[in-house]
Structure 1
Amino acid sequence: MDCARHEMMVPVLFLVILQASTIYSGHSLQYYHTAVSAPGHGLPQYSSVGYVDGIQIKTYNSDTNRTVPVAQWMERLESDYWEGETENGKRAQAAYKINVMVAMDRYNQTGGFHSFQVMYGCELMDDGSTSGYWQYGYDGKDFLALDTERGVYYPLTDRAQRSAQRWNSPMVQAGERAKYYLQTECIKWLREYIEFGKEELDRRVPPEVKVSSQQSDGVSKLHCQVYGFYPRDVDVIWKRNGIEIPFDETKQVLPNTDGTYQITVTVEVLPDEREKYSCHVDHSSLNETLIVTWDNKEYITRHSYLIFAAVSLVFLFGHVVGMKMKCSGE
C-alpha cells in the first residue's frame, strides 16, 4: 500500500465502530475417509486424512500402507502412536473396501468407478461444551448420518434404508458406538493434539478488512473482504440501517498460503443508499465486533479498533495537529 492510500485512512477511521463481539472460539478434530471401487482418477483405493482446526495433521493411504504426520508438531508423538495409527488405517482400509461393495449392491451396480466417503469429528468450545457429527456419502451424494443425541443412524436416501436398519440393530449398534467415540475418545484425542500443537493452534491473528463498491450492468454491489485472520471461524454480515440482511448463499472461507484465511461477502445495494450499509466482522482475535461502512473510497483497516481508540483520545485532548503514517510492505 502506498503513502497516499495511508493518508486517506485518517478520516475513514471514524467509520469503524465497535460493539461487543459474539464469536467465541474452540477447537475441532475432523477425519475424512475415502474408498473407491478400483484405483483410478489419481486416487488410491483407500485414504484417510485427519485435521485439527482445519490444519492437516496426519494421513494414511493404501499406496503406502502407513500413517504419517503432516503437521510438524505431530512428529513429537512417539513411534508407538504411529504404529498403532498404521494398524488402525489397515483395518479401516479393509472395512471400507466392503462398504463400497455393499453400497454398490444397494444401488444394483456391478461395475464402474464408485466412491464411498465418511466425514466425522468433534468440537471442544472454550466454554467447555462439546459437539460432534458423523456422516456417510456415496458417489458424492448423502447416504447416512448419525443422530448424535439418540445414537442411531438415519438414511438420507431410500437406498440407505437397509444399511440404517442393520447398523442400528441390537447386534451391531454402530450408532451407539459412534456416539460414544465422539463424546469420549474424540474429545480425549483432541485435547492431546491441542497440547502438542498449542503454540500454533492457540495463536490469534486479527483480520484485515477491505470494503469496496462495484457498478456493473446497472447493479451496484458492496464487497466486504476479510482476510489474513486465524483461526478459521469468523462471522461476516451486512446490515442496512442496523438491520441484518439475510444471506442465502454459503459463505465460503478460503485458506491462504501462510496458514491464515479469507472470506468475501457481497451485497447488492441501491447506488444512492450505499452509505446506509455496514459490514460487521466477528472473530476470536477481536475484543469487539468490527463494523466498517462504505465512504465512496476503497480502504483497508488492520487493528482498526486500536487505531480508532488512539485517534479518539487525541481529539478528546484537542491536540490534533496532523498525522504522518509510515509506509511498510508486508
Structure 2
Amino acid sequence: MHLHYHRAVFFPPGPGLPAFSVVGYVDDQEIESYNSDVCQSVPKTEWMKKLGPEYWERETKHNQIAEIACKQQLQAIKKQFTKTQGLHVYQEIFGCELSDDGSTVAALYNMQGYNGKDLMYLDTQKWLWIPVVNEARFFTHAWNQPGTSETEKWKNYLTNTCVGQLKNILALGREDLKKKVVPEVKVWGHHQSDGVTRLYCLVYGFYPQTVHVKWMRNGVDYIPSDKMSPILPHPDGTYRIRVSVEVPQVEEDAYSCHVEHSSLQE
C-alpha cells in the first residue's frame, strides 16, 4: 500500500485548468483533492470524511502554503530554461509505501518534472537531490548543502508524517481498499479485409486497477496486441480496458481473451 500526492502548477492558467492542483491517492484510489479555484481540500471517499473538519482545515492550510511555494518554484525553474513562451507546467509526485503487512517502509520518494519531462528526484537512501537534466543542477546543488531546510523538510515529512498518515488512512479505509471486484469480459470481431479479422476484448467493472489482458491462439500462443487502451476509471470506482488484435481467418484456429486479475485468484 502506498500514499502518494500529485501536485501541478500551470502558467498561465486557463478555463478548466487551475493554476495549482493537488490530488492524493492510496494506491490507485483518489482520496482527496485541492485546487486554486476552490482553495479547499476535500475528501473523495466516504471513509476519508471520518477524519473530521480539523484534519481538512489542516490539509487546506498545508496546500495553500504549498501553492505559494510551488508557484515560486515554477518561476525559478523557468529562469533555468531558454523557453519563455507558451504553457509551462511544474509537476511533483511524492509519497511513501508500506509492506503488505504494514510493518516496514518499502519506499519513500519525491520526483519533480517540468513541461512533461523529468527534472530531478530525491535519493531517499542518501538523502541527496539528483538532477536528471543540467538545468536542475542549480537547485540540487543548493538543496544538497549540509543542513539545507528543503532536504530536512522532505526527510521529516516522508519518514514520519507520510508513513503515519498512511497507517491512519489504512485503518479507516481498509475494507474499501482491500475490496476486489471480478471483471466482466465481452469479446467480438470485425472483418477488416479479405482474410483478416480484428478481434476486440473489453474487460470492465474490475477492482483493483492492475490487470493483464491478452489474446491467445488455440489456448497456447500469445498474440501481441497492436491496439490497447489505457486502463480507464469508471464513476463507480472500477476500471476498464480494451485490447484488440488483427488475425488471419483460419478455420482451424480458435482465439480466446485471457484475463489475469487478483479477484480471479481467490
When normalised by structure 1's length, the TM-score is 0.67
Larger radius of gyration: 1
Residue pair 2:225, 2:244 contacting (<8 A) in 1 also: no
1:246-257 equivalence runs, <5 A: 246=224, 252-257=230-235
Residue pair 1:34, 1:118 contacting (<8 A) in 2 also: yes
Task: Give SS of 1:206's match.
Answer: coil
Structure 1 CA distance, aligned partners of 2:128 and 2:101? 27
Distance 1:78 1:204, change over 3 A: same
Alignment counterpart, residue 207 of structure 1, candidates 183, 192, 196:
183
The match for 1:305 is: none
Residue pair 2:228, 2:241 contacting (<8 A) in 1 also: no
Structure 2 CA distance, aligned partners of 1:273 and 1:142? 49
Distance 1:171 1:274, change over 3 A: farther
Structure 2 CA distance, aligned partners of 1:208 and 1:181? 41
Mapped pair 1:198 → 2:197 = no
Structure 2 CA distance, aligned partners of 1:287 and 1:173? 47
Residue pair 2:20, 2:36 contacting (<8 A) in 1 also: yes
Distance 1:112 1:57, change over 3 A: same
Structure 2 CA distance, aligned partners of 1:222 and 1:235? 17
Mapped pair 1:135 → 2:111 = yes
The match for 1:115 is: 89
Distance 1:41 1:287, change over 3 A: same
**One-letter identity of the residue aligned with 1:235:** H
The match for 2:142 is: 166
Segment of structure 1 superposing worse, 55-64 or 205-214: 55-64
**One-letter identity of the residue aligned with 1:81:** Y
How far residue 138 of structure 1 moved from its aligned partner, in angstroms, is 1.6
The match for 2:20 is: 46
Q: How many residues align?
A: 262
The match for 2:250 is: 272
The match for 2:204 is: 227
Cα RMSD for the two superposed structures = 3.1
Structure 2 CA distance, aligned partners of 1:282 and 1:217? 31
The match for 1:260 is: 238
Task: Give SS of 2:187's match.
Answer: strand
Mapped pair 1:62 → 2:36 = yes
Of structures 1 and 2, the one with the larger relative CO (CA 8 A, separation 6+) is 1
Q: How big is each residue's C-alpha offset from its partner over 1:100-141, in whole Å with a ceiling of 9 and x where there is no partner?
A: 111110114556542211122334453657335432222233
How far residue 255 of structure 1 moved from its aligned partner, in angstroms, is 0.9
Task: Give SS of 1:101's match.
Answer: helix
The match for 1:318 is: none
How far residue 229 of structure 1 moved from its aligned partner, in angstroms, is 0.7
Distance 1:178 1:246, change over 3 A: farther
The match for 2:59 is: 85
Structure 1 CA distance, aligned partners of 2:123 and 2:253? 45
Structure 1 CA distance, aligned partners of 2:45 and 2:60? 17
Mapped pair 1:187 → 2:173 = no
5+ residue gaps, structure 1:
1-26, 289-330
Residue pair 1:131, 1:183 contacting (<8 A) in 2 also: no
Residue pair 1:53, 1:231 contacting (<8 A) in 2 also: no
Percent identical: 42
5+ residue gaps, structure 2:
none
The match for 2:45 is: 71
The match for 1:19 is: none
Q: How big is each residue's C-alpha offset from its partner over 1:247-268, in whole Å with a ceiling of 9 and x where there is no partner?
A: 6877611111222111112233
How far residue 142 of structure 1 moved from its aligned partner, in angstroms, is 2.6
Segment of structure 1 superposing worse, 199-208 or 150-159: 150-159
Structure 2 CA distance, aligned partners of 1:127 and 1:222? 41
Distance 1:90 1:213, change over 3 A: same
